Amino acid sequence: MIKKEILIIGATSTIAHECARSFTARYQCFFTLLARNQSELDKNKSDLLIRSKNANVETISLNSFDLKSIKLLKSTLTKPYDIYILAQGMLIEQDELTMDKLSVANELNINSYAHLIFLIYESMKKLNKGHLVLFGSVAGDRGRQSNFWYGASKAYINTIFQGIEHDIAINNRNLNASIVKPGPTLTKMTMHLPNAHKFSKVSDVAKEIVKQIDLKKRVIYAPGRWRWIMLIIIHLPRFIFNKLKI
């Protein structure tokens, strides 16, 4: 069985953990799981070890994703990983948004995410190995009245991904990068939303993500139909788009 060293930041994310489960079905996995909630990390570790006798799981908890804490992770990145997954983040509920809530969300979704990408990508360049997987969203493909603050944070990640992809190509680096763009998925973060029962199952979304990571696809829509849905939304003329409440 092929061995894979996999680092997952934001490992208590429902989608990220389901991806870890899918990886155990394909590889002998050596996981490093990182998040803020140690008790949730312990539950996820136990779950993965039950599912795969060959898995090895290390957990790291941070009090926060502030710059000081992120800098301390540098020692964790001295060894090469095959796959680096950045999945931490929080949903911005636009109807209940305040400036204080926006500040908290942006600190996690934008500032800390950028700092983590920088730290990891610099390590990858030195080691000349690894596949970087960033978690974006279909919300970042075009600003819409229902979720443009959340979408803006995902568009920010998409721009960084594009720059990294270009840097890899121009400098002929032995690296890979992907961005994951899930459609609405039934998770702990979304189960309270209207029509959540119509959202995609997290197991289906995760299987598609892992399958596409294995194929080294650059932009991963999950489920795959969202590639075509967003293609239409992106290219709708403004005079039509502005009449749609989406």
Segments making up each domain of the chain, as ranges: 3-241
Q: What amino acid is encoded at 183 in this protein?
A: G
Q: Are 58 and 31 in contact (CB under 8 A)?
A: yes
Q: Are 5 and 79 in contact (CB under 8 A)?
A: yes
For residue 223, cis peptide bond before it (omega within 30 degrees of 0): yes
Each residue's pLDDT, cut to its tens digit, for the chain (246 residues) gives: 899 999 999 999 999 999 999 999 999 999 999 999 999 999 999 999 999 988 999 999 998 899 999 998 988 888 899 999 999 999 898 888 999 999 999 999 999 999 999 999 999 999 999 999 999 999 999 999 999 999 999 999 999 999 999 999 999 999 999 999 999 898 877 877 777 777 889 999 999 999 999 999 999 999 999 999 999 999 999 999 999 998
Q: Are 105 and 122 in contact (CB under 8 A)?
A: no
What is the rounded CA–CA span in Å between residue 246 and residue 200? 18
Buried b (16+ CB within 10 A) or exposed e, 36-49: beeebbeebbeebe
Q: Are 184 and 200 in contact (CB under 8 A)?
A: yes
Q: Note the pLDDT of residue 96.
A: 87
What is the rounded CA–CA span in Å between residue 168 and residue 162? 10
- 3-241: which CATH topology? Rossmann fold (3.40.50)
The pTM (predicted TM-score) of the whole model is 0.95
What is the rounded CA–CA span in Å between residue 123 and residue 111? 19
Q: Note the pLDDT of residue 200.
A: 87
Q: What residue ranges in 38-144 does DSSP mark as E strands?
A: 56-61, 83-86, 131-135
Q: Note the pLDDT of residue 192.
A: 77
DSSP 8-state secondary structure symbol assigned to residue 146: T
Q: Please give the C-alpha separations between residue 126 and each of 120, 121, 155, 167, 175, in angstroms, as whole numbers.
A: 10, 9, 27, 14, 11
Buried b (16+ CB within 10 A) or exposed e, 167-187: ebeeeebebbbbbbbbbbbbb
Buried b (16+ CB within 10 A) or exposed e, 206-218: bbbbbebbeeeee
Q: What is the 3-state secondary structure (H, E, C) of 66-87?
A: CHHHHHHHHHHHHCCCCEEEEC
